């Protein structure tokens, strides 16, 4: 595996391909981290982060798109420092993400044979499963700036204005290498067959279908939704790849706990397996929060290690929070 990575790295250097070079470096870092060489991986990552990333910036954007009526920003540009990119996924799902990254890195080679890389990706799954994190991972591994659509600013009650705002967003990024992220697009992606709405939403859905058909920007478009069966089938067909980001299993929980707590000391006899089992059914985001809250408790109390009881307390607090949330939404 390491030999193949080194050969890929040298090929990227010989071709002068910044994207393939970046991709190869990321894979070497990932390989070292999987071997347990966390210090080396962190050191290599810092070196990579310090490089000149002007090619992956949004400096080519003349102006960020704004709403026509109120002049509110329609997108948010996430800096590279904000991107979270460490994901714990099962092998099948991880390979789907890796395939998108590989195709983008090899887009010039694919084009020589008349093929296009996967430009449009739809991620679906329950809240907190890691769809947003997946988009950030793709942006990080491809070196593309992430441009996130602000649906709260885009949607307007005025006739035709929301569709116009959406077109404005797509027009702004059509010549700019970037990852355009449509997060939580449930309300514009619902099946037209189950809605009697004759207002703005169906108009936006139709506009989105046309924009997806015409999308040919030099970057990626990633959409995320909590829906699956309710999702408009016509939208499914517009994407080059559609895959589910599932809730973490016991094995993913185990890795999430250990990865999140890697920077702090933990109790020698901490029962990792027991905690991973208790967290089954929780979203990846909540598993990480449990581990983070346990670590913060240990730090605030002046303890040198994270104890089993810290994790148990954090888990109980998470359950209580969920119960309060259910009660709040029921009233």
Q: What is the pLDDT of residue 54?
A: 39
Instruction: Examine the domain organization and report whether 114 and 223 are in the same domain.
Output: yes
Strand partners, 221: 120, 180
Q: What is the pLDDT of residue 119?
A: 97
Q: Which residue has the higher pLDDT, 162 or 18?
A: 162
Residue range(s) defining the domain that contains residue 191: 53-244
Instruction: Examine the domain organization and report whether 117 and 183 are in the same domain.
Output: yes
The residue out of 244, 279, 304 marking a domain boundary is 244
Instruction: Examine the domain organization and report whether 229 and 258 are in the same domain.
Output: no
DSSP calls for 250-290: HHHHHHHHHHHTTTS-B-TT--HHHHHHHTTTS-HHHHHHH
Instruction: Examine the domain organization and report whether 122 and 224 are in the same domain.
Output: yes
The region that residue 16 occupies, defined by phi over 0 for left and psi between -120 and 50 for alpha, beta otherwise, is left
Instruction: Examine the domain organization and report whether 117 and 240 are in the same domain.
Output: yes
Domain count of the chain? 3
Q: What is the pLDDT of residue 78?
A: 87
The residue out of 244, 274, 308 marking a domain boundary is 244
Distance CA 296, CA 107 (A): 43
Q: Which residue has the higher pLDDT, 162 or 2?
A: 162
Instruction: Examine the domain organization and report whether 205 and 285 are in the same domain.
Output: no
Percent of the chain with pLDDT over 70: 77
For residue 273, the domain's CATH number is 1.10.8.60
Q: Locate tokens 């109790």: which residue?
A: 267
User: Does the pLDDT at position 262 exceed 80?
Assistant: yes
Q: Locate tokens 């020589």: which residue?
A: 112
The residue out of 179, 214, 244 marking a domain boundary is 244
Kindly state the average pLDDT of the residues 206-228.
90
Instruction: Examine the domain organization and report whether 131 and 260 are in the same domain.
Output: no
Kindly state the average pLDDT of the residues 210-227.
92
Kindly state the average pLDDT of the residues 250-261.
94
Instruction: Examine the domain organization and report whether 102 and 209 are in the same domain.
Output: yes
Q: What is the pLDDT of residue 208?
A: 87
Give strand ranges (E) for 136-197. Answer: 146-149, 179-182
Mean pLDDT for the chain overall: 82
Going by pLDDT thresholds of 50, 70 and 90, the confidence category of residue 266 is: very high
User: Does the pLDDT at position 5 exceed 50?
Assistant: yes
pLDDT tens for 140-165 read 999 999 999 987 777 765 667 888 88
Q: What is the pLDDT of residue 51?
A: 53
User: Does the pLDDT at position 273 exceed 90?
Assistant: yes
User: Does the pLDDT at position 14 exceed 70?
Assistant: no
Q: What is the pLDDT of residue 307?
A: 96
Going by pLDDT thresholds of 50, 70 and 90, the confidence category of residue 53 is: very low
Instruction: Examine the domain organization and report whether 289 and 189 are in the same domain.
Output: no
Assessment of whether the complete model's pTM goes beyond 0.95: no
Q: Locate tokens 């006899």: which residue?
A: 269
pLDDT tens for 320-330 read 876 655 533 44
Q: What is the pLDDT of residue 187?
A: 65
Instruction: Examine the domain organization and report whether 285 and 144 are in the same domain.
Output: no
Instruction: Examine the domain organization and report whether 47 and 57 are in the same domain.
Output: no
Q: What is the pLDDT of residue 216?
A: 93
Q: What is the pLDDT of residue 255?
A: 94
CB 108 within 8 A of CB 117: no
Q: What is the pLDDT of residue 236?
A: 81
Instruction: Examine the domain organization and report whether 87 and 180 are in the same domain.
Output: yes
CB 124 within 8 A of CB 230: no
Q: Which residue has the higher pLDDT, 111 or 87?
A: 111
For residue 88, the domain's CATH number is 3.40.50.300
User: Does the pLDDT at position 218 exceed 50?
Assistant: yes
Q: Locate tokens 């980001």: which residue?
A: 245
Distance CA 288, CA 273 (A): 15
Kindly state the average pLDDT of the residues 224-251.
85
């Amino acid at each position: 595996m390491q030999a193949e990575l080194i050969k890929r790295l040298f090929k990227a250097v010989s071709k002068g391909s910044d994207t393939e070079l970046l991709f190869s470096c990321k894979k070497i870092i990932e390989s070292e981290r999987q071997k347990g060489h966390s210090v080396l991986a962190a050191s290599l990552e810092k070196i990579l982060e310090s490089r000149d990333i002007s090619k992956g910036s949004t400096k080519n954007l003349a102006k960020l798109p704004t709403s026509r009526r109120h002049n509110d920003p329609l997108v948010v540009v996430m800096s590279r420092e904000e991107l979270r990119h460490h994901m714990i996924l099962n092998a099948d799902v991880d390979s789907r993400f890796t395939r998108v990254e590989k195709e983008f890195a090899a887009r010039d080679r694919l084009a020589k044979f008349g093929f296009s890389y996967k430009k449009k990706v739809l991620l679906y799954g329950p809240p907190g499963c890691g769809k947003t994190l997946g988009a950030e991972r793709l942006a990080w591994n491809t070196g593309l700036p992430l441009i996130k659509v602000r649906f709260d600013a885009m949607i307007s009650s005025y006739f035709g204005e929301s569709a116009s705002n959406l077109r404005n967003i797509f027009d702004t990024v059509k010549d700019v290498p970037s990852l355009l992220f449509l997060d939580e697009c449930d309300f514009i992606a619902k099946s037209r067959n189950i809605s009697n709405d004759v207002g703005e939403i169906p108009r936006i859905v139709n506009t989105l279908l046309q924009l997806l058909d015409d999308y040919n920007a030099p970057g990626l478009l990633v959409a995320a939704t909590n829906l699956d069966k309710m999702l408009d089938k016509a939208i499914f067909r517009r994407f080059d790849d559609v895959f589910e980001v599932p809730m973490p299993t016991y094995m993913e929980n185990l890795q999430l706990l250990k990865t999140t707590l890697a920077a702090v000391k933990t109790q020698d006899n901490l029962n990792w397996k027991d905690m991973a089992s208790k967290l089954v059914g929780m979203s990846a985001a909540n598993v990480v929060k449990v581990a983070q809250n346990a670590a913060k408790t240990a730090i605030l109390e002046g303890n040198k290690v994270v104890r089993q009881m810290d994790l148990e307390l954090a888990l109980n607090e998470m359950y209580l929070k969920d119960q309060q949330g259910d009660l709040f939404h029921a009233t």
